């Protein structure tokens, strides 16, 4: 019987403060006021799962609020860096820079930032390694929209620009199974951007 590594990806709770701010890899706190959604996610998660997060505060706090446990932090699962745009507002960016970024999402980057392709180049190898290391186990990962889009792009083998078309809401659940004993890896997406309840 082929055994899957079962990934339970959760996007962190909304960032505290103004929702128009570009946070990227900023270490801003999470807004954990939606106790109902946090409890609903906890009920959906499997017992005896391994708990991970990125190394950014809002994912760590969300993981702790959902499970009551401290997650293992994985730096490779950090959000895409928006470089000089971090701390600014999308509406205040120069229109030319913003249009170039969104029309070639895979390759364009903010000044001193990171492209989505560069994000996938750190996320994908870590997913493959952990899928092999945790065969037939459940991995709960609280991460970011960019990280979860990267996981879906890997599983679905989509062009990287197409990842931008995937909605990943705060406190949503995305379920992906990896089959690391297949050559090449086989994948199954059980659901994406599922509401907490």
pLDDT in tens, the chain (197 residues): 578 999 999 999 999 987 788 888 888 999 999 999 999 999 999 999 999 999 999 999 999 999 999 999 999 999 999 999 988 888 888 888 888 888 888 999 989 999 999 999 999 999 999 999 999 999 999 999 999 999 999 999 999 999 989 999 999 999 999 998 888 889 999 999 999 97
Range of the structural domain that residue 153 is part of: 5-194
Neighbours of 38 (CB within 10 A): 17
Alpha carbon separation from 130 to 4, 23, 114 (Å, rounded)? 12, 27, 23
pLDDT of 115: 95
Q: In this structure, what CATH number is given to the domain that contains residue 185?
A: 3.40.50.1240
Q: Return the HEC string of 166-180.
A: CCCCCCCEEEEEEEC
pLDDT of 197: 79
pLDDT of 64: 98
CB-based burial of residue 156 (10 Å sphere; 0-12 exposed, 13-18 middle, 19+ buried)? middle
Contacts of 15 (CB under 8 A, 6+ apart): 21, 23, 28, 29, 30, 31, 58
Q: Is residue 145 a contact partner of residue 105, using CB atoms and an 8 Å limit?
A: no
Number of separate domains in the chain = 1
pLDDT of 124: 98
pLDDT of 82: 92
């Amino acid at each position: 019987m082929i055994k899957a590594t079962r990934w339970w990806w959760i996007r962190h709770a909304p960032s505290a403060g103004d929702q128009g701010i570009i946070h990227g890899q900023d270490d801003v706190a999470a807004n954990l006021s939606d106790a109902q959604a946090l409890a609903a996610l906890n009920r959906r998660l499997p017992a005896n799962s391994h708990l991970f997060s990125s190394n950014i505060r809002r994912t760590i706090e969300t993981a702790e609020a959902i499970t009551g446990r401290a997650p293992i932090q994985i730096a490779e699962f950090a959000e895409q860096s928006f470089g000089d745009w971090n701390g600014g507002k999308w509406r205040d960016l120069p229109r030319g820079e913003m249009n170039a970024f969104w029309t070639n999402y895979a390759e364009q980057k903010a000044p001193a930032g990171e492209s989505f392709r560069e994000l996938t180049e750190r996320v994908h190898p870590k997913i493959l390694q952990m899928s092999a290391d945790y065969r037939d186990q459940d991995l709960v990962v609280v991460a970011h929209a960019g990280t979860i889009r990267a996981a879906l792009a890997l599983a679905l083998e989509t062009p990287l620009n197409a990842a931008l078309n995937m909605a990943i809401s705060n406190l949503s659940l995305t379920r992906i199974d990896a089959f690391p004993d297949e050559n090449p890896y086989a994948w199954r997406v059980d659901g994406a951007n599922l509401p907490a309840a």
